[in-house]
């Protein structure tokens, strides 16, 4: 694990990177393999990166209605990939971020 040092400002995100599969130790990953093939053909920029991203937001359901709309709440952005050594899906980068509180989705009236 490589921990990226926290910035000096309060808004700087804190992040952790995992360069090896936690199960088998392989560094070969599905997205890197596919992106390397694109780069070999000249169909992706050298700096191009891509992986599945999940945003994890945790809210206390009892307190949820007390938090003003638009407030920033702590969240985690998780970049996932799949190990080509054993097939294990694991987090390659975890970044502290924030999410904005938005109103719950409204249901469209059904056409019955």
Decide if residue 88 touches Zn ion (CB under 5 A): yes
Least distance to Zn ion, CB of residue 37, Å? 20
The residues near 81 (Cβ < 8 Å, ≥ 6 apart) are 29, 30, 31, 32, 51, 52, 89, 90, 92
Whichever of 83 and 92 has its CB closer to Zn ion, that residue is 83
Least distance to Zn ion, CB of residue 52, Å? 16
Least distance to Zn ion, CB of residue 87, Å? 7
Contacts of Zn ion in 4-43 (CB under 5 A) = 21, 23-24, 26
> Which residues are at the interface with Zn ion (CB under 5 A)?
21, 23-24, 26, 83, 85-86, 88
């Amino acid at each position: 694990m490589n921990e990226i040092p926290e910035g000096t400002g309060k808004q700087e995100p804190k992040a952790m990177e995992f360069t090896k599969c936690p199960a088998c130790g392989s560094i070969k990953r599905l997205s890197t393999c596919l992106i390397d093939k694109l780069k070999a053909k000249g169909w992706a920029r050298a700096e191009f990166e891509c992986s599945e991203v999940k945003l994890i937001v945790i809210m206390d359901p009892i307190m949820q209605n007390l938090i003003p709309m638009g407030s920033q709440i702590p969240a985690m952005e998780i970049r996932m990939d799949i190990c080509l050594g054993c097939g294990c899906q694991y987090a390659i980068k975890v970044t502290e971020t924030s999410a904005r509180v938005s109103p719950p989705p409204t249901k469209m009236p059904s056409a019955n």
